[in-house]
Amino acid sequence: MIAAPGQNSSPLLTRRSDRNLPDPYRHRKIWGVTFPIFIAVITLSALAIFNYEKSESSVVKSILYALRTSELGRQELGNEIYFRDRFPWIWGEINKMHGKVDVQFAVKGSKGKGMVTFKSFRRSRNSFFRTEEWSLEMEDGRTIQLLDDSAPDALQRSTTAAAFERKKHSIPLRTGALGTKKGMTAMYDPENGRRYACTVVQMDRVQVVAHKTRQKNGYYAVQVGSGWKHPSNVTRPLLGHFAEHKVSPKRHLVEFKVRDENGLLGIGELIGPSWFQEGQYVDARANSRGMGFAGGMKRHGFAGQPKTHGTSLVHRAMGSAGQSQGGGSRVLPGKRMPGRMGGHQATVQNVKVLKVDDEKGIVVLNGSIPGPDGCLVKLSDAIKKPWPNTDVRLESQVSGQPLIATA
């Protein structure tokens, strides 16, 4: 018989000299070393992501493109201008929401290297960005100011003033007018006896209500109203707008862009039919007559399916609406299909003014214009014809007398 081992008498229950109990604070020591490394990795990753977003932003790409097209930039750096580093680091801030762009980045070219600095700010939410600094600092310490008014570089061509200058030719010199389409009739030319179809447009108490200026709104425009509306049918904000400018409530309000401040008529001035001259050309805009749901042949002028044998009940059908797997198995946006026809704004350009009658308040136009009888028509000087040889009269005329075009 072998006696049972007692407490701590068996070699299996004794602790080996080379073994120690586990340390309960060991994980704290491990985290004390790895946690700062983890935070550093996360911080560097976030900075790298933000820097990549800045380097790929349209702002930085536009600055680099403007530098490539600048005469001074090509003169100092050469024709081939790129980021200096393979992974460029963009210093500064790009915050379009708060209107601040202040960046710096290194560039290189075939002739040298440098650091580009670009600063642009927006004073208010409704204003435009204004570039205050655009410079290039070379390795030898020289600083080259690229924002020069005399240099027609790409950055200056992208400013607001340059955009207005480019679009100046398509903005009328003076405001337009509002009218109501009364219908169509015919007129005979007394010289050759020809019969011309014409449209009668009546102008009802057309009056200047307000202005929009480039300093406050970003562009020049004249707000014109026509007709009359009972004050009980006008909202309070709009009633306040009319009361502020001392104008009676209008049924229609339309804004006409003008080129500069010379086209801003006095508030309260009346615009009569003589605002347009006989023989001049105008552009007529109105909402076209709604024709309801129409098929592809009527709405878009499709030719339809073949009329020969083998075609059954699909002679006026649209046909295929798109590709299968090769085109994405979907209907591409903008596909011309059957749908509601008409009911949208349409413009007829270069409409000749045949007759002007101040006593009856009508303007007679050659041919047809969009919209049904009784619709609102916006008339303005034709942009594809020479501007009429008239002077806009800015001085106040006799009260109640409409403005006329003076040669």
At 199-235, the pLDDT tens digits run 999 999 999 999 999 889 889 999 999 999 999 999 9
Query: What is the reported pLDDT for 153?
Result: 47
pLDDT at 64 over 90: no
- Mean pLDDT of all residues belonging to the chain: 85
Which stretch, 19-23, 105-109, 216-220, 285-289, has highest mean pLDDT?
285-289
* Interatomic CA distance for residues 102 and 92, integer angstroms: 5
Provide mean pLDDT across the span 111-129.
Answer: 83
Which residue would you say has higher pLDDT here, 289 or 14?
A: 289
User: Which residues, in sequence order, are bridge partners of residue 384?
Assistant: none
Query: What is the reported pLDDT for 400?
Result: 54
Provide CB contacts within 8 A for 351, sequence distance 6+: 281, 282, 283, 284, 365, 366, 367, 369, 382
C-alpha torsion 94→98→99→103, nearest 10: -20
What percentage of residues in the chain have a pLDDT greater than 90?
44
Which stretch, 40-44, 119-123, 403-407, has highest mean pLDDT?
40-44
The three-class DSSP label of residue 165 is helix
Confidence of residue 316 (pLDDT cuts 50, 70, 90): very high
pLDDT at 265 over 60: yes
Provide mean pLDDT across the span 391-404.
Answer: 52
The three-class DSSP label of residue 301 is coil
Provide mean pLDDT across the span 119-144.
Answer: 82
Provide CB contacts within 8 A for 330, sequence distance 6+: 322
pLDDT at 158 over 70: no
* Interatomic CA distance for residues 181 and 364, integer angstroms: 10
- Measured over the CA atoms of residue 213, residue 218, residue 221 and residue 226, the dihedral's sign is negative
pLDDT at 13 over 60: no
Whether the model clears a pTM of 0.75, i.e. scores above it, the answer is: no
The three-class DSSP label of residue 153 is coil
Query: Which structure tokens are listed for 189?
Result: 């030319």
Query: Which structure tokens are listed for 257?
Result: 């862009």
CB 78 within 8 A of CB 110: yes
Provide mean pLDDT across the span 128-138.
Answer: 83
Query: What is the reported pLDDT for 156?
Result: 55
pLDDT at 31 over 80: no
Query: What is the reported pLDDT for 163?
Result: 79
Least confident residue range of 26-35, 74-83, 146-155, 169-178: 146-155
pLDDT at 162 over 80: no
Amino acid in the structure at residue 141 = G
pLDDT at 397 over 50: no
Closest C-alpha among 324, 328, 302 to residue 315: 302
Provide mean pLDDT across the span 119-128.
Answer: 78
pLDDT at 172 over 60: yes
Provide CB contacts within 8 A for 117, sequence distance 6+: 103, 104, 133, 134, 135, 136, 137
Query: What is the reported pLDDT for 395?
Result: 43
CB 405 within 8 A of CB 276: yes
Confidence of residue 174 (pLDDT cuts 50, 70, 90): very high
For the segment 342-396, what is each residue's pLDDT rounded down to a tens digit? 999 999 999 999 999 999 999 999 999 999 999 999 999 999 998 887 765 544 4
Provide mean pLDDT across the span 283-302.
Answer: 95
Query: What is the reported pLDDT for 84?
Result: 87
